[in-house]
Amino acid sequence: GAGVSQSPSNKVTEKGKDVELRCDPISGHTALYWYRQSLGQGLEFLIYFQGNSAPDKSGLPSDRFSAERTGGSVSTLTIQRTQQEDSAVYLCASSLAGQSNEKLFFGSGTQLSVL
């Protein structure tokens, strides 16, 4: 498709389990971002990729969170030993080159529920 694709759209897991969230950006976009949106909150930055490198991972809340990007395309966000406070919508976005004034194209997100 032409847009940013995220899977799964919904994920329910038990506390303590690991989860993997996938993002497929727009073809040709070198920049990829992960944000988290908790209920009633704005978007919280997690990590930024330029190609396969992550020059800014300052928003990852703990070492349970990690992300990688391969082939300059698909990215996976992994949360280990999930906690209830990890419940949120995880949004992925991509942009053409990662310039400060670029338009971000967002996917529809993965709704994560940790029971």
CA-based R_g, the chain, Å: 13
Whose Cβ is closer to another protein: residue 80's or residue 105's?
105
Whose Cβ is closer to another protein: residue 58's or residue 78's?
58
Interface residues with another protein (CB under 8 A)? 4, 31, 33, 35, 40-45, 48, 50, 55-56, 58-59, 91, 93, 98, 100-101, 103-104, 106-109
Shortest spacing between CB 30 and another protein, in angstroms: 11
User: DSSP state, 102?
Assistant: P
Tell me the C-alpha distance between 109 and 90, whole Å. Answer: 5
Instruction: Name the residue among 7, 2, 1, 11 with its Cα closest to residue 108.
Output: 7
